Structure 1
Amino acid sequence: MIVDVVMYLLLGAAMGTLGGLFGIGGGLVAIPALGVLFGLDQQLAQGTALLMVLPNVLLALWRYNQRNRISVRNAMMLIGPSFFVSWLTSLWAVRVDAQSMRIGFVAFLIVLTLFNLIQMYWRKGDAGLELRHRNWLWLLGVGSGVTAGMFGVGGGVIATPILTGLFGATQVVAQGLALALAAPATVITLTTYAVHDHVDWLMGIPLAIGGLASISWGVALAHSLPERLLRSLFCVFLVICAIMLCFRV
Structure 2
Amino acid sequence: MEATVVLFAVSLVVGLVVGVLAGLLGVGGGMLLVPAFKLGYAMDSLMCTATSLFTIIPTSVSGAISHVRNKTCLPKLGVAAGVGGACLSPVGVWLATLSPDWCVMGAAALIIGYSAITMFRKALKAPKTRKAAAGAASAATTAAERAAAIERAHREAPAIGWREVAIGFAIGLGAGLASGYVGVGGGFIMVPLMMSILRVPMKLTSGTSLIAVMILAVPGVVTQALLGNINWVAGIAVACGSIPGAALGAKLIPKVPERQLRFLFAGFLVVAAALLVVNQLGLWG
Q: 1:20 aligns with which of 18, 23, 40?
A: 23
Is 1:43 aligned to residue 46 of structure 2?
A: yes
Q: Judging changes above 3 Å, is the alpha-carbon distance between structure 1 residues 70 and 234 closer, same or farther for their aligned structure 2 residues?
A: closer
Partner of 1:200: 231
Q: Judging changes above 3 Å, is the alpha-carbon distance between structure 1 residues 99 and 45 closer, same or farther for their aligned structure 2 residues?
A: farther
Partner of 1:229: 260
Q: Secondary structure at the match of 1:24?
A: coil
Q: How much is the aligned-residue C-alpha RMSD, in angstroms?
A: 2.5
Q: Which amino acid aligns with 2:256?
A: L
Partner of 2:243: 212
Q: What percentage of residue pairs aligned between the two structures are identical?
A: 22
178-187 or 109-118, larger mean C-alpha shift = 109-118
Q: Judging changes above 3 Å, is the alpha-carbon distance between structure 1 residues 89 and 26 closer, same or farther for their aligned structure 2 residues?
A: closer
- CA offsets 1:110-149 (integer angstroms, 9 cap, x no match): 23323323454579xx982325851422221222222222
Partner of 1:8: 11
The count of corresponding residues between Structure 1 and Structure 2 is 247
Is the Cα contact below 8 Å between 2:24 and 2:252 reproduced in 1? yes
1:56-135 equivalences in 2 (<5 Å): 56-68=59-71, 70-98=73-101, 102-120=105-123, 128-131=156-159, 134=164, 135=166
Instruction: Give the alignment's TM-score, normalised by structure 1.
Output: 0.87
Q: Which amino acid aligns with 1:240?
A: V
Q: Distance in 1 between matches of 2:193 and 2:104?
A: 23
Q: Distance in 1 between matches of 2:54 and 2:185?
A: 15
Is the Cα contact below 8 Å between 2:72 and 2:203 reproduced in 1? no
Q: Cα offset for 1:69?
A: 6.2
Is the Cα contact below 8 Å between 2:22 and 2:246 reproduced in 1? yes
- CA offsets 1:65-95 (integer angstroms, 9 cap, x no match): 1111644433343233221122222222233
Partner of 2:147: none
Q: Distance in 1 between matches of 2:114 and 2:189?
A: 10
Q: Cα offset for 1:22?
A: 0.9
Q: Cα offset for 1:233?
A: 0.9
Is the Cα contact below 8 Å between 1:87 and 1:189 reproduced in 2? yes
Q: Distance in 1 between matches of 2:170 and 2:101?
A: 28
Q: Judging changes above 3 Å, is the alpha-carbon distance between structure 1 residues 100 and 164 closer, same or farther for their aligned structure 2 residues?
A: closer
Q: Judging changes above 3 Å, is the alpha-carbon distance between structure 1 residues 96 and 146 closer, same or farther for their aligned structure 2 residues?
A: same
